Amino acid sequence: MRKNSTKLIILAVIALICMLLFAFYNIQGGFSYAFPKRLERLFAMVITGTAIAYATVAFQTVTRNRLLTPSVMGIDSMYEIVQTIIYFALGSSSIFVVSRYLNFGVSIIAMVLFALILYRFLFRADKHPIFLLLLAGMIIGTLLGSLVTFMQVIIDPVEYESLQARLFASFMNVKTELLFISAGIVALAFLYGTRILHKLDVMSLGRDNAINLGISYDKMVLRILILSSVLIAVSTALVGPITFLGLIVSNLAYQYFATYKHSVLIIGASLISIIALVGGQFLVLHVFNLTTTISVIINFIGGLYFIYLLLKESRKAG
């Protein structure tokens, strides 16, 4: 068996190759125009990839499950909801739409608040079986989704068009003006996030052992849930929802590295995440010559993988 450090190096090399290919392969239409555009996209993918990887692994450690992720529980759809409500209630000329930063701030705060309320309600007793949580999360997600559809139906058609443009964020359509503020928030989050990696290791022993070893457990759980919600919220606001990416990369990392060490798991998951996004987008654009974005494909594969994990888990339980 390879050592984990070797595995990390292999992944890092693959990720680098993907990034180089994406940046330089077959540039058309003038280097000085296309190259900065590609770099922007690349930058967005690296930010979101690592943010989602960290958020998912940390979330799964503190909730002690490997099936649920913040996205699966519906934080992503909260973004749509916030935007729709703003358009619905205030219209496209309101300051909350016009000012990108204000919009960004409001969306993130709303997503984090929603996440915390959801967790408070769902994880309070810490006793609910995982399928119940999953079901509850999905029902809430669906409910909110229907609400959004309803509002979108009765909204003014012109407004709707502009809302659609807003909601349809993707890697090919990165909101450049939000790139740097997102990077800033993610960097701040990681500044804290990397300092608590060893606490995450201890917390994976469960509440009682973690408290015994001197972790302020409940406080840390809250902080980590906030941290992971912020990361997911930022990445959703930047490039739109990639619901199943976190689930795929975290579980691949658990399997590939077979360790409890979060330093390894999180770096590994981030690299896998970058490979999936950048490599995937490269294949989509240059090999399959499709115009679709990688998010769609990841969600498709991720959905299948999710079902596979569910079945595996239920077989284990039954």
Closer to another protein at the Cβ: 26 or 255?
A: 255
Residue 260 engages another protein in binding (rule: CB under 8 A): yes
CB neighbours of 251 closer than 8 A, spacing ≥ 6?
66, 305, 309
Residue 194 binding another protein, by CB under 8 A: no
- Closest to 250 (Cα-Cα) out of 8, 68, 19: 68
Q: At closest approach, how far in Å is the CB of 203 from another protein?
A: 10
Among 214, 255, 291, 318, binds another protein (CB under 8 A): 214
By CB under 8 A, name the one of 13, 213, 290, 307 that touches another protein. 213
Single out the residue of 207, 223, 303, 310 in contact with another protein (rule: CB under 8 A).
Answer: 207
**For another protein, the closer CB: 35 or 192:** 192
Binding segment toward another protein, per CB under 8 A, in 39-47, 139-147, 194-202, 241-249: 194-202
Residues 8-67 that bind another protein (CB under 8 A): 64
CA–CA dist 34, 29 (Å, integer):
7
Give residue 20's Cα distance to chain centre.
23
Instruction: Please give the distance of CA 271 from its chain centroid, rounded to a whole number.
Output: 14
The reply to whether 136 sits near another protein by the rule CB under 8 A is no
Work out whether 266 is an interface residue with another protein (CB under 8 A).
no
> Which of 290, 236, 302, 279 has the alpha carbon at shortest distance from 79?
236
Interface with another protein includes 202 (CB under 8 A)? yes
For the chain, the maximum distance between any two Cα atoms, rounded to a whole number of angstroms, is 62
Nearer to another protein, 99 or 216 (CB): 216
Segment near another protein (CB under 8 A); pick from 25-33, 119-127, 212-220, 304-312: 212-220
Bridge partners of 170, per DSSP, are: 173
What is the Cα–Cα distance from 276 to 305, expressed in whole angstroms?
14
Within 10 A of 263 (CB to CB), how many other CB atoms are there? Answer: 15
Q: Please tell me the distance from the alpha carbon of residue 272 to that of residue 270, in angstroms, as a whole number.
A: 5
Tell me the C-alpha distance between 63 and 157, whole Å: 42
Read off the amino acid at residue 301.
Answer: I
Beta bridge partners of 173: 170
* CA angle in degrees (0–180, nearest 5) for 198-54-254: 75
The reply to whether 209 sits near another protein by the rule CB under 8 A is yes
By CB under 8 A, residue 215 contacts another protein: yes
Q: Using alpha carbons, select from 78, 32, 48, 29 the residue that is nearest to residue 281.
A: 48
Q: Which of 23, 204, 226, 313 binds another protein (CB under 8 A)?
A: 204
Number of residues that bind another protein (CB under 8 A): 19
Judged by CB under 8 A, the residue of 127, 157, 191, 208 near another protein is 208
Residue among 37 and 261 whose Cβ is closer to another protein: 261
Which residues contribute to the site for another protein (CB under 8 A)? 64, 197-198, 201-202, 204-209, 211-216, 258, 260
